[in-house]
Amino acid sequence: MSCQRMTMTVNGDACMFEAHPMERLLDVLRETLGLTGTKEGCGEGECGACSVLLNGELVNSCLVPVAQAANSQVVTIEGIGSPGKLDPVQEAFLHCGGSQCGMCTPGMIVAAKYLLMCNPKPSREEICEGLSGNLCRCTGYMRIFEAVEVAAQREEGEAAT
């Protein structure tokens, strides 16, 4: 099938591009739009390295045919925080040592953001469940879970001030 012209709002910017409808959202983000922060791990929805928000919902972008993301809002790791001002979740990952090799980190941070959006004060068990679709082979997870707890406290503090 031939390419189609599609539009998508990515990190707040309207994007127009051509793609085959069965191209994976992951590949369009990385290769067509140059947003290489989103990683490919397993390519089969098990590892969460390709996590993005699609219309505000956490998804594995390797399992989304781009036609299903047309005319939608997508947020990738590039849309969370900025070089001058990190998001509290990113700061907490730095502070707690929640990132080592970095391969899982973008997906982990997007999943953590989604968790805190749905549940601003998660218990440790809820954090484990919220991140259960994101695999990390370096940290052993404890520092990641601590980072989410720290981020939740900071966001709560910021909300209170």
Partner 1 sequence: MRACPEQYDLISPGDLPSVLALLANDPGKWLPVAGGTEVMVMFSAGKLPQHNLVNLWSLPELRQIRVLEDAVVIGGGCTFAQIRAHAVIAAEFPLLAQAAAWIGGIANQNRATIAGNLANASPAADSPPALLACEAEIELISARGSRRLHYSGCHLGYKRTILAPDELIYALHLPRRFAGWRSYARKIGTRNAQAISKVCIAAQAKVTDGRIQAIRIGMGSIAPVPLQLSEVEDLLAGCSVDRLPVVESRQLLNAAITPIDDIRSTMEYRRHVAGNLLEECLRTLSEASQ
CB of 94 vs partner 1, minimal distance in Å: 24
CB 144 within 8 A of CB 131: yes
CB of 161 vs partner 1, minimal distance in Å: 30
Q: Would you give the binding string for partner 1 spanning residues 130-149, x where CB under 8 A is met?
A: xxxxx---------------
Judged by CB, which is closer to partner 1: 57, or 156?
A: 57
- Sign of torsion over alpha carbons 82, 98, 113, 37: positive
- C-alpha distances (whole Å) from 38 to each of 57, 78, 98, 118 are 16, 8, 17, 21
Q: Which of residues 21-80 bind partner 1 (CB under 8 A)?
A: 21-24, 27, 43-46, 48, 51, 57-60, 62-65, 67-68
Helix, strand, or coil (residue 143): helix
CB of 129 vs partner 1, minimal distance in Å: 7
126 scored as a contact of partner 1 (CB under 8 A): no
CB of 4 vs partner 1, minimal distance in Å: 10
- Give the H or E element holding residue 52: strand 51-54
Helix, strand, or coil (residue 6): strand
